[in-house]
Amino acid sequence: MTSRSGSVSSSNRFLGSRSLLHPRLVICCIILFICLIWSITLGSANINTHVVYQALFNYDTNNFDHLIIQTVRLPRVLSGVIVGASLAVAGALMQGLTRNPLADAGILGIQSGAAFAVVVAIVLFKVASLSLYAVFAFTGAGVAAAAVYLLGSMGRGGATPLKLTLAGVILTAFISSFTTAILIRDQEALDKIRFWTAGSLAGREMQLLLQTSPYMMVGLISAFTISRQITTISLGEDVAKGLGQNTIWVKVIAAISTVLLAGGAVALAGPIGFVGLVVPHIVRFLVGTDYRWIVPYSAVMGAILVTIADVGARVVIRPQELPTGVVMAIIGAPFFIWLARWKVKR
């Protein structure tokens, strides 16, 4: 009787701790909204928030500021939101499945594979269809993920975190060199997509956003659906099997979700790295190890981080701008070094 009441009280404490997290998520959403408005107002021409409101809810086609907001800045900001959310959730899924603190779509070569496939489609096959860009990106992401897992599984001990990380770094360097070689041979294609290859939200059109966002939304919904199972697997595969969980199906769904999220993000904005590495660790510090909370928090905070990075890309060397991927590398590289130094050894 005492044991049962103890378990009930511990369960109540757990539920209580979860309920306390709701205000934090609301605060994160408010911060995201503020960042979005701030991002829309910034550019070569500063536009105040009143004009932004008018452009969003009372659009005048004859107003030049309204035209800039609707056709240039709004697609860019929305692209940053979906890309940031997708990459952060993809990183959270990968870290939960592999129990690898360095797991990230960029570090493990998935983004490089997707980018290489898109470059091949543009340069070698002269593909101009936006929907086909996404298909090539998903294919490249899937092949790269499989290759990294196979390389990391070789030898004794199977797919350890360190071996997967090394395999991803090696494959990324290998694929990136081929991507560069292809672009060097085609100057016209290089001029066209050089910002995209560094990861950029500049010039994103609403049409491209509408073409790629459904794939990422499917990936996000799938991630939310299996978040409870990811929590169990993150405790160890033996524990998950002992609780009756079908780990194979969970891994398959998670792998498909990761490919959809990373592939869609690359097709839309190019390979923006370190988002999936940085955000899940920050989220775990705030909410613990329950993926039912890690996934939604990662989505919101990933959107915030990419939005802020994109703002930085526009204001650091104004009136020119940097690729968003470069700013994220400045943020994420020190974080990666810290993780590699302290987390992997532990």
Asked whether residue 15 is domain-assigned, the answer is: no
Within 8 A by CB and 6+ apart from 22, the residues are: none
Alpha-carbon radius of gyration of the chain: 21
**What residues contact 333, with CB distance under 8 A and at least 6 apart?**
274
Q: Is residue 276 part of a domain?
A: yes
Q: What DSSP line would sit under 11-61, residue for residue?
A: HHHHHHHHHTHHHHHHHHHHHHHHHHHHHHH-SSS---HHHHHHHHHS--T
Question: Among 108, 25, 141, 87, which residue's Cα sits nearest to residue 279?
Answer: 87
Evaluate whether residue 196 is within a structural domain: yes
The CATH number for 218's domain is 1.10.3470.10
Residue 109 near residue 175 (C-beta atoms within 8 A): yes
How high is the pLDDT of residue 344?
55
CA 102, 105, 106, 112: dihedral to nearest 10 degrees?
A: 140
DSSP secondary-structure letter at 1? -
In a domain, 132, yes or no: yes
Q: Is 9 domain-assigned? A: no
- Chain segment 83-140, per-residue pLDDT in tens: 999 999 999 999 998 888 888 999 899 999 999 999 999 888 888 787 788 899 999 9
pLDDT tens string, the chain, 346 residues long: the values are: 444 344 333 334 333 444 445 688 999 999 999 999 999 998 877 788 999 999 999 999 899 999 999 999 999 999 999 999 999 999 999 999 888 888 899 989 999 999 999 999 988 888 878 778 889 999 999 999 999 989 988 877 777 877 888 899 999 999 999 998 998 888 777 777 888 888 999 988 899 899 999 999 999 999 999 999 999 998 888 888 888 888 899 999 999 999 999 999 999 999 999 999 999 999 999 999 999 999 999 999 999 999 999 999 998 888 888 999 999 999 998 888 887 777 654 4
Give the Cα-Cα-Cα angle 308, 305, 25 (nearest 5 degrees). 120
Query: Is 36 within a domain?
Result: no
Chain segment 9-21, per-residue pLDDT in tens: 333 433 344 444 5
Identify residue 187 by its one-letter amino acid code.
Q
Domain that includes residue 323, residue range: 42-342
In a domain, 16, yes or no: no
* Length of the chain (residues): 346
Q: How many structural domains is the chain composed of?
A: 1
What's the rounded Cα separation, in Å, for the pair 28 and 26?
Answer: 5
Position 158 in a domain: yes
